[in-house]
Structure 1
Amino acid sequence: MPPPPIAAAATALPVAHLARVVAASGSGGATPPRAAPRRGRRGKPGFSRRSAIKKSFHQEQVVFSTPVPADPTVAVIGGGASGLSCASALAARGVRSVVFDTVRDARPGGRMATRFVDGGEQLVFDHAAQFFTASDERFQRLVDEWLDSGLVREWSGLVGELEAGGRFRPIHSLTPRYIGVNGMRPLADAMLPETDMIKVLRPCWISKLEPFNGLWRLFENEKPRGEYDAIVIAHNGKCANRLLSTSGLPLLTKQMKRLELSSVWALLAAFEDPLPVPRIDSHGAFEGAFVRDVDSLSWMGNNTRKLFPMQTGTPECWTLFSTAAYGKRNKVPQENIPKVTAEKVKEDMLGGVEHALGLSKGSLQQPIYTRVQLWGAALPMNTPGVSCIFDPLGRAGICGDWLTGSSIEAAVLSGMSLANHIADYFVSNGDRPEEFAIGLHEDLNAVEGHDIGQFPGD
């Protein structure tokens, strides 16, 4: 566990007081609006009893008012691209962190996930992010490091739009498209430096956050998971909302509850023989296609041609994504997908492949391997347009691609931004919290893009 930091007393203020403090930070020094009268506190200050915490959560804002310790530690809840980049950037600033991730059968990485299946011949699928682009110089510097180390390369394969019936139109881009040389998985590993400043715990489902004596206590089903000077929520959806709803962080909770997310089904399918996809003159067959006018299908990606273009005589491994509309209509608990639903989704999506390619119903060859997965919080439908959210009074922040879009670039930049914001806050010793409030009141606006995310600059 991380070294125990100096205990700092926690107090609670009404939400109106926090609104007044935050309003002052954006008013150029003007006098903020008058807040409602403060309610009297019950019991002793400082949250010395759990019952007092429970009574105050729905009315009051948790406030940590004493100095930051010399060696603070941050809990990062979520091991996807944003959480990993946040931990890495914190380490670069000399701040320790512990990353909690729920993944069971692989290392952290979230949507930078690659599945390897051994079945006589190894089958390889990127089953989340299919490729990425770079439009921000900070992210481009990281991509250049990956290029230099041989982790990524530019994807020159044919990508375009596929209309129902097999009509394909190439999409040419002035922005390079990048892929992991051996899949996206190694990129997540590369985001964590070899340092004792970062500790990763998995699988670990943080189920409760509790402020106590100036620290955040974390629990996994009532099992203590340490005490920390600040917390980062690096994932969204039901889990994040559940954690925040009882944490005493009402403004963070409000922002997360306003977030609208769509679900998307992924189907991994391996075929013994190549699929009869359209061929474009000298370009040959496409490697990736955004599918139009097919209800159950929004993307077809040939992992085998994308990752191993010189390989022949092996099964073709395809990643298929549903539309957001189909995902919404067929949403189930992603942790426990009923077999009947999994079978229905598989048949619908394979039927979508037939429709997209202009094949007669039932003529598609049966795959030799399939696996369905529901990304329950796949795409943000609205975003606040800020790179991170931070509540300085509660020493808690949120990062994730959903804050500015849905891409690896957005996730990485969000984690970096929050880490540097927290490190700057620590340097200030928490003396000027009004200067560090960010993203607590932004309106959320609709975001547009493909049903598998956005690709800045593409």
Structure 2
Amino acid sequence: MLCSAHFNVPSSLFLRPLNTSQLTTTPNFITTLRRANPTITCNSQPSPKPRKRPAMDGQKPTSRNRRKSSYGASRRSILKKTFTQEQVNFTAPVSDDPVVGIIGGGMAGLLCALNLETRGVRSTVFDTGIHGLGGRMGTRIIDPQPLIFDHAAQFFTVSDPRFAELVQGWSEEGLVRQWLGTVGELEAGGHFVPLPSSPPRYVAVNGMRLLADSILSQTRMIDVVRPCWISKLEPYNGMWYLSENGKPRGQFDAIVIAHNGKCANRLLALSGLPLIARQMKRLELSSIWALLAAFDDPLPVPGSDGFPLEGAFVKGVDSVSWMANNTKKLLGSSIDGRNCWTFFSTAAFGKRNKVPQENIPSAAAEKVKAGMLEGVEVALGLSEGSLPRPFYTRLQLWGAALPTNTPGIPCIFDPQGRAGICGDWLLGSSLESAALSGMALANHIADYFQNSGLNAEEFAVGLHKEFQPLEGHDIGQFPGLESEKKGSKAMEYQLTT
């Protein structure tokens, strides 16, 4: 893919995962996935709430009561405000000890914070997660059984040497391992074809969220505030003031948007960053349903050489595109005969059945669950009504799941507004893409700070980059994973990350 800028990131800038012997003494480390972390608050005192709306450098402040919130506004009004807002232009010098506000605590946001720290830059990460950080590196453990599900990213592959170094460190610390179970294509009717074992497929040993916990455990210069939903960005006197529903959340020399979707669009609609807002609005996202289901007995799945499938990309079924036995994948065997499965819908099914993900109507949830379980039945080639009934189910809608287009660049940065964007969608849609994006933006911002903000125009990246369609399967990418079918073009498979 073509990039508008090249980032030469020394391998020495990437920290290795913390030795597991240190985990019990590390204050920030999340020691268990079974307990929700308490809210971690920013160490610095929040800035006093200004009496007038903060203004951009060189712009006269305006009365706060003349500005209505964009929340609840129509898409048309948000677009109009986004593209007509005045560009903020910070002229004040960068402080000697700059601090970055990072909105989003997924892989991209956390690695951005971690790599900023390696360059001596402090940051605060704001995340909406109630149960923990990680975004789509989500793992759910249901007590008292216990049941375990990766309900977003299922596995990942490695193709870039910078990401390979990070994964190697995780592997040496026992945080990740190769998934050696049988994975392949499952066509409607139970026709299964295994994928080759190369490239290696990796999983986090105790669920994907452990990787987010590990990244955070390495830090000493990063504050975390969660659960927190930043609702406003305001530039004033060379700083960004962040707030959550009127509550000040601190001031920062630069900001990073490490999430996407309608909330990010609304956040940027009146921020004074029209170039960044315009690029974010170009992003098109799919919707994907995730169904977690636990069965008392093993499902009658096909296999290869006597080994039943543990994961499959489903073909020819309208409601299901992926299925995986998380119990086998993570634990190697079922618990008391129980098997925990994660099923993903197709993007088309997700679009047809999309509802507000914050408040899913019961009727919609039952319709989706029934449709997906019927799809599993068809995929396995079972007769109607013969699929075993799960004793536990849980639905989640990823309303802004995966990109259908991409600019194909590591990151976006507006030096005039001292604001950047990172995320997997900038390079595609994979765990590796998210990691590389966060690393790239961190080093770019550190270089900008090191240059004291001078010659700002030289640090502009991706503000006018055109987007291209992102081809492949409905739900995410696995760099390097290809099917070996004679006479057909190799396909790049994707999965939620």
TM over 0.5: yes
Return the letter of the residue paired with 1:233: I
CA 302–441 in structure 1, closer or farther in 2 if over 3 Å, else same: same
2:273 aligned with 1:249: yes
Deviation at 1:195, TM superposition (A): 3.4
Return the letter of the residue paired with 1:69: S
- Determine the structure 1 residue equivalent to 2:38: none
- Determine the structure 2 residue equivalent to 1:320: 343
- What does residue range 379-398 of structure 1 map to in structure 2 within 5 Å? 379-398=402-421
Distance 2:125 2:475 in 1: 26
Return the letter of the residue paired with 2:100: V
- Which blocks of at least 5 consecutive residues in structure 1 are unaligned? 13-44
Spell out, residue by residue over 1:276-321, the C-alpha distance to the aligned partner (whole angstroms, 9 max, x if none): 0013224x10000000010000001000111111446331000000
TM norm structure 1: 0.88
Task: Return the match for 2:107 from 70, 81, 90.
Answer: 81
SS of aligned partner of 2:342: strand
CA 210–50 in structure 1, closer or farther in 2 if over 3 Å, else same: farther
CA 50–154 in structure 1, closer or farther in 2 if over 3 Å, else same: farther
2:343 aligned with 1:343: no
Q: Is the 8 A contact 1:48 1:212 kept in 2?
A: no
2:440 aligned with 1:417: yes
Structure with greater strand percent: 1
- What does residue range 157-236 of structure 1 map to in structure 2 within 5 Å? 157-236=181-260
Task: Return the match for 2:98 from 45, 61, 72.
Answer: 72
- Determine the structure 2 residue equivalent to 1:18: none
Task: Return the match for 2:319 from 272, 290, 296.
Answer: 296
2:309 aligned with 1:286: yes
Distance 1:312 1:5 in 2: 48
Distance 2:46 2:260 in 1: 28
Task: Return the match for 2:150 from 126, 129, 143.
Answer: 126
Spell out, residue by residue over 1:149-208, the C-alpha distance to the aligned partner (whole angstroms, 9 max, x if none): 000001111000000000000111421110011111111111124433100100101011
Deviation at 1:2, TM superposition (A): 5.5
Task: Return the match for 1:90 from 74, 92, 116.
Answer: 116
2:166 aligned with 1:142: yes
Distance 2:300 2:153 in 1: 24
Distance 2:237 2:66 in 1: 11
Q: Is the 8 A contact 2:424 2:433 kept in 1?
A: yes
Return the letter of the residue paired with 2:303: R
- Determine the structure 1 residue equivalent to 2:17: none
CA 124–208 in structure 1, closer or farther in 2 if over 3 Å, else same: same
SS of aligned partner of 1:261: coil
- Determine the structure 2 residue equivalent to 1:115: 140
Task: Return the match for 2:288 from 238, 241, 264.
Answer: 264
Computed over aligned residues only, the root mean square deviation of the Cα atoms, in angstroms, reads 2.0
Distance 1:185 1:214 in 2: 36
The percent of aligned pairs where both chains have the same amino acid is 65
2:136 aligned with 1:101: no
Spell out, residue by residue over 1:322-378, the C-alpha distance to the aligned partner (whole angstroms, 9 max, x if none): 001111111111111111111111000000011101111111111010000000111
Count of residue pairs brought into register by the alignment? 421
CA 419–50 in structure 1, closer or farther in 2 if over 3 Å, else same: farther
Distance 1:86 1:277 in 2: 41
SS of aligned partner of 2:156: coil
Distance 1:151 1:346 in 2: 33
Distance 2:157 2:367 in 1: 33
- Determine the structure 2 residue equivalent to 1:366: 389
SS of aligned partner of 1:456: coil
Distance 1:48 1:178 in 2: 52
Q: Is the 8 A contact 2:181 2:310 kept in 1?
A: yes
Q: Is the 8 A contact 2:85 2:273 kept in 1?
A: no
2:425 aligned with 1:399: no
Deviation at 1:212, TM superposition (A): 1.1
CA 47–210 in structure 1, closer or farther in 2 if over 3 Å, else same: farther
CA 136–52 in structure 1, closer or farther in 2 if over 3 Å, else same: farther
Q: Is the 8 A contact 1:82 1:401 kept in 2?
A: yes
SS of aligned partner of 2:120: coil
- Determine the structure 2 residue equivalent to 1:21: none
TM norm structure 2: 0.82
Q: Is the 8 A contact 1:354 1:360 kept in 2?
A: yes
- Determine the structure 2 residue equivalent to 1:454: 477
Distance 1:161 1:390 in 2: 39
- Determine the structure 2 residue equivalent to 1:38: none
Return the letter of the residue paired with 1:115: R
Deviation at 1:107, TM superposition (A): 1.6
Return the letter of the residue paired with 1:192: L
CA 294–169 in structure 1, closer or farther in 2 if over 3 Å, else same: same
Distance 2:162 2:171 in 1: 15
- Determine the structure 2 residue equivalent to 1:22: none
SS of aligned partner of 2:141: strand
SS of aligned partner of 1:224: strand
Task: Return the match for 1:378 from 401, 404, 414.
Answer: 401
Q: Is the 8 A contact 1:10 1:63 kept in 2?
A: no
Q: Is the 8 A contact 1:10 1:65 kept in 2?
A: no
Q: Is the 8 A contact 1:5 1:73 kept in 2?
A: no
Distance 2:111 2:243 in 1: 23
2:459 aligned with 1:433: no
SS of aligned partner of 1:327: helix
Deviation at 1:60, TM superposition (A): 1.7
SS of aligned partner of 1:373: strand
Deviation at 1:254, TM superposition (A): 0.6
